[in-house]
Structure 1
Amino acid sequence: MEVTSFRTPGLGDQTYLLTHDGQGVLVDPQRDIGRFLDAAAERDVELRFVLETHVHNDYVSGAEQAALRTGAELVLPAAAAPAYRHTPAFHLEDLDGGAGLTVRPVHTPGHTPEHTSYLVLIDGEPAALFSGGSLLVASAGRPDLLGPERARTLARLQHRSLRRLAALPPGLALYPTHGEGSFCTATGAGRLTSTIAAELTDNPLLAIDDPEKFADTLLTHPMPIPAFYRHMGPANTLGVPAMPPVHVPDLNEPSGHVVDLRPRHLQARGMLPGSYGIELDDDFGSWTGWLLPRDEPITLVAEPGQDVTEAVTQLARIGIDTVQGVVRDLGQAATQTYRLTDLDAFVKLLLQPDAQLLDVRMPSEQEQTRLAGAVERFLPDLFTQGVPAELDPERPVLVACASGRRAAIAAAHLAREGYRPIVLTGAGVPDVAAALRDPDAA
């Protein structure tokens, strides 16, 4: 038996391909299924099952399309009840894959009500556990994505589900779907895979015996929920069309919302007026889906030679298929600007009597390190609630986050609104705090 993992860093998720004796099992595939099917073909295996652990809230599933393309049996938790043909997975009702391969569904509600983990047995012996959004590495799937009204009930269910999985053989390999970087984790997840024994030792949530205390731990300081999440569950329940071929024509004039994915040093020199500035990186799709209006036309701005296929693929993973094309030559129209600066210069500007600072980190990050006098507004709230009234558009606005990425996105928005932002790049608020305590360290 072999398990191949496919990491999608921008979403903090993993898809798995288990192969055994010519048979394949695909677990929680995302919409761009080509990479998974290619891997199965390279290993010369026939997909026997495509398994979904739950109705995903963070990406569009490729499970139905993978099953249709390959003839594999599509398996979803029985309580998911999607609108397309599938095999319902009932608790402990084994699915026979042949060649000694058995898939045993284990009902593990908590992250979602229908959530089901899958224990794979080879010749009757437990060989791998695919835990989806239940037991994670040093964490657990968050229970509040379906709303605060159900969060505590789901948290108590998650407490029981974790213990159900922790009772499996200690040497069993654990393969969760959600991991580091995912907004589906209740607390910061660690490594990508683990074992039951390692989690019994290292997962702090397994040390909490009381379900109410467990619920308090998961719910007291919840992470933000990306805006696009609310569209994923309905899409995955109704069925999602195959990902269209990536075709991004060159445009002379933009159409709809303009998203500049060039590196921030190029954005700072000049962007098309009204542009969103979101550098192309692993989380480009997540930030674009979080900050832009849904289902409206998008034009990308890229530098010559920059590959936009990755950007379009990331957007398709969250169900955005509205990219009209790409503009590569901005000519003289790039008049929207902002400034970049390093830590030393940023601290000197901050010490000026008329300095004003905007911190766009998450509330949990702000609680850990605060700067006196800073105006705090989490990046997505800057778009939905507007620029804080405390900021004076007649004076430069210093903008910081943890590294410069979110600050640059915020700066493009501030520039659109007529402000003069100055972005701390290559450093963050904790570095500023340290430099203010020890000026020689800046």
Structure 2
Amino acid sequence: MELMSFRTPGLGDQTYLLIHDGQAVLIDPQRDIDRFLAAAAARDVELRFVLETHLHNDYVSGGEHAARRTGAELVLPAAAAAVYPHTPAFHHEEIKSGGLTIKPIHTPGHTPEHTSYLVSIEGEPVAVFSGGSLLVAAAGRPDLLGPARARTLARLQHGSLHRLAALPRQVGLYPTHGEGSFCTTTGAGRFTSTIGDELDQNPLLAIGEMERFADQLLAAPQPIPAFYQYMGPTNLHGAPPMPATTVPELAVADLADLPAETRVVDIRPVAAQATGVLPESVTISMGDDFGSWVGWLLPYQAPLVLVAEPEQDTAEAVTQLAQLGIDTVQGVVRDLTGATTTPVATVDVAGARRHRAEPDSQTLDVRMPAERAQLPLPGAVERFLPDLAEAGIPKQLDPARPVLVVCGSGRRAAIGASLLRRAGYHPVVLTGAGAEEVAA
């Protein structure tokens, strides 16, 4: 058996391609399926099955189109009741092809329909693909479908984890969600494991009482990205195939002809943004989490225009957006010559400390509530970055005076500063450092 994993760092997810005896099984593919199908083609194997563990909350699935392109059998949890053709997976029936046997295991908790898949080769169980159920040192979140169902799903998750923990110790554990995913309750820094290692090391498996387990899972609610509300329905009904990743080249003057709801997203590095940005732009430098921040902070499916450096590749930006079902990029602007721009004020740690030492200084902390609770920044006005976009600028901040914007590393501060700038404030961004360095 050969097992390949394809990690998408910005979403904290993994897709798997299992290969055995000329056949391949693809598990939880994202929408950009070419990378998975190319790997199968390079090994000259037939894609026999595409397995989905659940209706994903964090990305648009590519399962339907991977199956259509290759003729593979698409297998989804029976209770998902997706509207496109598929083979429904129930509980403990066997799906066989040659020496390969796939046994669905109903593991509700992350979602009601959630199903894991135990794979045996020549009768020997070797791997379980646990999606958002049993994770490495963690479990999938039970609250993504809303608070009304969270406790019921948390109770179900307790039973599901122990159901998987009853598998042989040597069975490999291959979750879809992992470190960096908002679908996991905690993170261990590892992405795969074994049943034996989880029995020995996963603290949640040591909680035998169901209600105490549910208390633990729900004790510290995490934010839910705004775009999550669109992923489940999209995966239920199906999405169009992955779009092309090339977009038209635009001039600044072309922006006047675009719809009024168009949003300008500057993806250049902070150093380039510092020389001047379009006043209406939101600055989200290209990175692994670019798509997630666009999906969380901007109106879903709003027309988008990217601002990039002359030689900057925009294909990854378009791909990350398409993974969330955002196919609305109208084009890219690469030349700001002659355009009215606003410089981005930045400071290092020493400059941030000087700012905070001045009379009547203002600091805005855009970290997550859990981060702020662990390490408060005295005197700072607190508002989590997505809340800054949704609820607006805190009234304590004076638009007439500079506002130092701080996060954990500088990335979210730069994004938050652009939201302040659009509202008429004068932000100063702490770059390359965060609250810990300023408070030290």
TM-score scaled by structure 2?
A: 0.97
Structure 1 residue 323 and structure 2 residue 322: aligned?
A: no
Query: Which residue is equivalent to 1:440?
Result: none
The Cα of 1:332 is off from its aligned counterpart by: 2.9
1:84-124, CA deviations, whole angstroms, 9 ceiling, x for partnerless residues? 110000100010022x1000000000000000000000011
Structure 1 residue 171 and structure 2 residue 170: aligned?
A: yes
| 2:238 aligned partner, one-letter code | G
Query: Which residue is equivalent to 2:273?
Result: 267
Query: Which residue is equivalent to 1:437?
Result: none
- Greater displacement, 119-128 / 252-261: 252-261
Structure 1: stretches of 5+ with no match in the other structure: 435-442
| 1:206 aligned partner, one-letter code | L
1:21-32 matched pairs, under 5 angstroms: 21-32=21-32
Which of 403, 408, 411 lines up with 1:405 in the alignment?
A: 411
* Residues 336 and 415 in structure 1, CA contact (< 8 A), matched pair in contact too: no
| 2:129 aligned partner, one-letter code | F
| 2:220 aligned partner, one-letter code | H
| 1:204 aligned partner, one-letter code | P
The Cα of 1:327 is off from its aligned counterpart by: 0.3
* Residues 138 and 190 in structure 1, CA contact (< 8 A), matched pair in contact too: no
Query: Which residue is equivalent to 2:155?
Result: 156
The Cα of 1:190 is off from its aligned counterpart by: 2.8
Query: Which residue is equivalent to 2:110?
Result: 111
Query: Which residue is equivalent to 2:292?
Result: 286
* Residues 281 and 418 in structure 2, CA contact (< 8 A), matched pair in contact too: yes
- Greater displacement, 31-40 / 288-297: 288-297
Helix, strand or coil for the counterpart of 1:269?
Answer: coil
Structure 1 residue 314 and structure 2 residue 325: aligned?
A: no
The Cα of 1:334 is off from its aligned counterpart by: 4.2
| 2:20 aligned partner, one-letter code | H
Query: Which residue is equivalent to 1:351?
Result: 357
* Residues 338 and 420 in structure 1, CA contact (< 8 A), matched pair in contact too: no
Structure 1 residue 395 and structure 2 residue 401: aligned?
A: yes
The Cα of 1:352 is off from its aligned counterpart by: 1.3
1:178-198, CA deviations, whole angstroms, 9 ceiling, x for partnerless residues? 001000001224301111111
* Residues 304 and 328 in structure 1, CA contact (< 8 A), matched pair in contact too: yes
CA-based RMSD of the aligned residues comes to 0.9
C-alpha separation in 2, matches of 1:145 and 1:94 = 30
Query: Which residue is equivalent to 1:220?
Result: 219
C-alpha separation in 2, matches of 1:251 and 1:332 = 14
C-alpha separation in 1, matches of 2:204 and 2:438 = 33
Helix, strand or coil for the counterpart of 2:389?
Answer: helix
Structure 1 residue 258 and structure 2 residue 257: aligned?
A: no
1:170-219, CA deviations, whole angstroms, 9 ceiling, x for partnerless residues? 11111000001000001224301111111111111111111111111111
Structure 1 residue 66 and structure 2 residue 72: aligned?
A: no
| 1:396 aligned partner, one-letter code | P
Helix, strand or coil for the counterpart of 2:309?
Answer: coil
* Residues 360 and 399 in structure 1, CA contact (< 8 A), matched pair in contact too: yes
Helix, strand or coil for the counterpart of 1:119?
Answer: strand
| 1:9 aligned partner, one-letter code | P
- Greater displacement, 329-338 / 63-72: 329-338
Query: Which residue is equivalent to 1:18?
Result: 18
Identity %: 69
The Cα of 1:372 is off from its aligned counterpart by: 1.5
- Greater displacement, 249-258 / 356-365: 249-258
Query: Which residue is equivalent to 2:79?
Result: 79
Which of 310, 318, 334 lines up with 1:304 in the alignment?
A: 310
C-alpha separation in 1, matches of 2:365 and 2:230 = 28
* Residues 174 and 193 in structure 2, CA contact (< 8 A), matched pair in contact too: yes
- Greater displacement, 184-193 / 302-311: 184-193
| 2:365 aligned partner, one-letter code | D
1:222-252, CA deviations, whole angstroms, 9 ceiling, x for partnerless residues? 1100000000000000011111222211001
Structure 1 residue 44 and structure 2 residue 50: aligned?
A: no
1:308-327, CA deviations, whole angstroms, 9 ceiling, x for partnerless residues? 00000000000000001000
Structure 1 residue 246 and structure 2 residue 240: aligned?
A: no
Structure 2: stretches of 5+ with no match in the other structure: none
| 2:421 aligned partner, one-letter code | A
C-alpha separation in 2, matches of 1:383 and 1:283 = 17
The Cα of 1:433 is off from its aligned counterpart by: 1.7
1:364-396, CA deviations, whole angstroms, 9 ceiling, x for partnerless residues? 111101022110000000011101000011111
C-alpha separation in 2, matches of 1:257 and 1:398 = 25
